[in-house]
Amino acid sequence: MVKFDLQTRRDGDLLRAELIGQRSPLQSVMARHSQETWDAIIWECRTLGLSRVLVVSHLTGWLSTAAVYSTIAYLEKVVPPFIKQIAYVDVNPQTMPHNAFGQKLAGPRGLAIAVFESEDDARTWLAAQ
């Protein structure tokens, strides 16, 4: 079972979370890893008193729209109101369309999530909000 690495740190007034590694090819394992990762990010935000998140994903491997839908449905249930913005940078061009689909799902669910190809663009969006 492959599990990716999550590294977090305070970066000014936001939490920077970096994902490194490979996604599991098993849908159930991928969903569990995603949930554990988001739980850790939320816990860090709560602990540090931060309301904005910058996620930089260097993940490789297969990603399905079903996995993205599952993650957004999970986030809808667990993201607390104090987290105002989540910028997600996907540096993998193969999975970017799937994560962009997640952005479309997030808005109607009241989640301020935007997906970017570069960290600079994500930081600009976070600063403008």
Mind listing the pLDDT tens digit for each residue in 54-85? 999 998 877 788 888 989 999 999 999 999 99
- Rounded Cα distance, 102 and 64, in Å: 11
Cα-based angle 126, 120, 96 (whole degrees, multiple of 5): 90
The residue ranking higher by pLDDT, 5 or 47, is 47
User: pLDDT at residue 41 above 80?
Assistant: yes
The residues, any chain, with a CB within 8 Å of residue 121's CB and separated by 6 or more, are: 89
Please name the residue that has the structure tokens 């935007």: 114
Confidence of residue 42 (pLDDT cuts 50, 70, 90): very high
User: pLDDT at residue 2 above 70?
Assistant: no
Cα-based angle 84, 121, 99 (whole degrees, multiple of 5): 70
* Averaged pLDDT for residues 11-32: 80
Query: DSSP H helical segments within the chain, as ranges?
Result: 27-48, 65-78, 96-106, 119-128
12 Rama class: left (phi>0) / alpha (psi -120 to 50) / beta: left
* Averaged pLDDT for residues 82-97: 92
- Which pLDDT value is given to residue 68? 87
Residue ranges covered by each domain of the chain = 5-128
pTM of the entire structure? 0.91
- Rounded Cα distance, 76 and 9, in Å: 24
User: pLDDT at residue 28 above 60?
Assistant: no
Average pLDDT score over the chain: 89
- Rounded Cα distance, 3 and 21, in Å: 7
5-128 under CATH 3.30.750.24, yes or no: yes
